[in-house]
């Protein structure tokens, strides 16, 4: 990576190019997927960090191995990353891109944890309600945790809301112990 470029500059450039070619969603998904692969696969991380594999060859390898999973723009950017900090640089670029993407598209990421599996219809209805309440398009992901008993835990950006029965019982217990 060139020394005078920082992750925010690279993410902004990547965003602008992706926007021009109408590939924002695909590039965003590619960054997330590639970041996940790099963090979870030591062999892939070695490829990204390699100083011996030149940029053009690295792009060819990424395009060949990842195919449709990664957008060629993302592979091109990754080809400039080298050395032990490459995985961290990729994560920073991905985070900056995500931030720009969310601001421009008026989108917010919401993660929910519930006690039991919700139907697709329930999830869609909940998403529509969140869209209206928050005044933004929500990217909703739901996780199941049976220990909650009931209710829901939400993470909206950096705000945590805990309306689980487990939390309510814990609060009640603490109140009873204090009296």
The DSSP annotation for 122-168 comes to HHHHHHHHHHHHHTSEEEEEEEE-GGG-SEEEEEETTEEEEEEHHHH
Cα-Cα end-to-end distance for the chain: 61
Question: Counting Cβ atoms within 10 Å, is residue 74 exposed (0-12), middle (13-18) or buried (19+)?
Answer: buried
Q: Per-domain residue ranges for the chain?
A: 7-104, 106-178
The per-type count for the chain, helices as H runs and strands as E runs, is 8, 4
Q: How would you label 44-64 residue by residue, b for 16+ Cβ within 10 Å and e otherwise?
A: bbebbbbeebeeeebbeebee
Residue 179 has pLDDT above 80, yes or no: no
Identify the weakest region by mean pLDDT among 1-15, 54-68, 119-133: 1-15
**16 is written with which tokens?**
């602008």
Strand partners, 109: 139
In this predicted model, which residue has the larger pLDDT, 27 or 167? Answer: 27
Per-residue model confidence as pLDDT tens digits over 66-105: 888 889 999 999 988 888 888 899 999 999 999 999 899 8
| pTM value > 0.85 | no
Q: What pLDDT digit, counting tens, does each position of 27-50 carry? A: 999 999 999 998 898 888 998 898
pLDDT of residue 5: 62
Query: pLDDT digit string (tens) for 12-26?
Result: 999 999 999 999 999
Output the pLDDT for position 1: 39
Q: What CATH code is assigned to 7-104? A: 1.10.520
């Amino acid at each position: 990576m060139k020394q005078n470029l920082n992750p925010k500059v690279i993410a902004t450039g990547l965003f602008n190019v992706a926007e021009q070619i109408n590939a924002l969603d695909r590039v965003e998904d590619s960054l997330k997927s590639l970041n996940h692969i790099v963090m979870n696969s030591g062999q892939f991380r070695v490829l990204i960090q390699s100083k011996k594999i030149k940029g053009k060859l690295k792009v060819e390898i990424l395009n060949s191995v990842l195919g449709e999973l990664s957008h060629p723009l993302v592979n091109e950017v990754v080809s400039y990353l080298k050395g032990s900090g490459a995985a961290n640089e990729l994560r920073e670029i991905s985070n900056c891109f995500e931030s720009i993407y969310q601001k421009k598209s008026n989108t917010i990421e919401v993660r929910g944890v519930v006690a039991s599996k919700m139907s697709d219809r329930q999830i869609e209805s909940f998403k529509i309600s969140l869209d209206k309440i928050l005044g933004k398009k929500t990217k909703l992901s739901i996780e199941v945790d049976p220990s909650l008993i009931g209710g829901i835990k939400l993470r909206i950006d950096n705000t945590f809301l805990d309306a689980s029965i487990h939390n309510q019982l814990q609060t009640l217990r603490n109140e009873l112990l204090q009296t």
